């Protein structure tokens, strides 16, 4: 299994556990994503998107038109980790470590739209990601409208997002690699 972390920073030598920036009250962790789910992160950090996933991988990605240029012109660094010591969160390929982690490799990723297309994933640029979210989630009832796994990532960055941001994925302490 391959685990990755994506960043716009080119030279991270050590990953120290820390709480997510938008949730400083959360447990300090190092986050990683399994390869099959990694296209959810072929985006600059501050690019909101919705990923629709079936069979353990993304099959459709929606991006707000206001962030399209950021995505098309973005570049990332993909850090690879040894999976030893990571816990499976049992949530869309997310793994976490509670200790310091050293990357075993780093790779520059450019042409982010090409990387998504190369995985056979349908991408849609939508006028309003806020409006598109209602296709998948009933915000009044707080329930999903579909059977697929839907990841809404960085939605609170949308200027017209009327809801609170979601919380971070938390570890499943019963699972390790």
- Sign of torsion, CA 108 110 112 114? negative
pLDDT of residue 172: 63
Write down how long the chain is: 177
Q: What is the pLDDT of residues 121-134, one digit of tens each?
A: 999 999 999 999 99
How high is the pLDDT of residue 140? Answer: 87
pLDDT tens for 77-107 read 999 999 999 999 988 899 999 999 999 999 9
pLDDT of residue 174: 59
Beta bridge partner(s), residue 64: 126
Pairing of strands 149-153, 49-54: antiparallel
Statement: residue 11 has pLDDT above 70: yes
Whether the CA torsion 20, 119, 145, 173 is positive or negative: it is negative
Using DSSP, state whether 35 is helix, strand or coil: helix
> Who has greater pLDDT, 139 or 27?
27
Specify the residue for token string 């707080």.
142
């Amino acid at each position: 299994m391959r685990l990755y972390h994506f960043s716009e920073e080119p030279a991270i030598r050590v990953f120290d556990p820390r709480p997510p920036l938008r949730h400083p009250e959360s447990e300090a962790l190092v986050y990683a994503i399994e390869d099959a789910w990694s296209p959810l992160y072929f985006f600059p950090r501050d690019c909101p998107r919705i990923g629709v996933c079936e069979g353990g991988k993304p099959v459709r990605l929606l991006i707000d038109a206001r962030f399209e240029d950021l995505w098309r012109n973005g570049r990332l660094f993909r850090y690879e980790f040894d999976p030893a010591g990571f816990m499976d969160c049992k949530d869309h390929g997310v793994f976490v470590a509670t200790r310091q982690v050293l990357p075993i490799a780093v790779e520059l990723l450019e042409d982010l739209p090409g990387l998504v297309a190369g995985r056979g994933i349908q991408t849609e640029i939508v006028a309003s990601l806020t409006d598109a979210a209602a296709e998948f989630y009933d915000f009044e009832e707080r329930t999903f409208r579909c059977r697929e796994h839907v990841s809404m990532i960085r939605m609170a960055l949308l200027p017209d997002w009327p809801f609170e941001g979601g919380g971070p994925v938390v570890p499943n302490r019963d699972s390790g690699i």
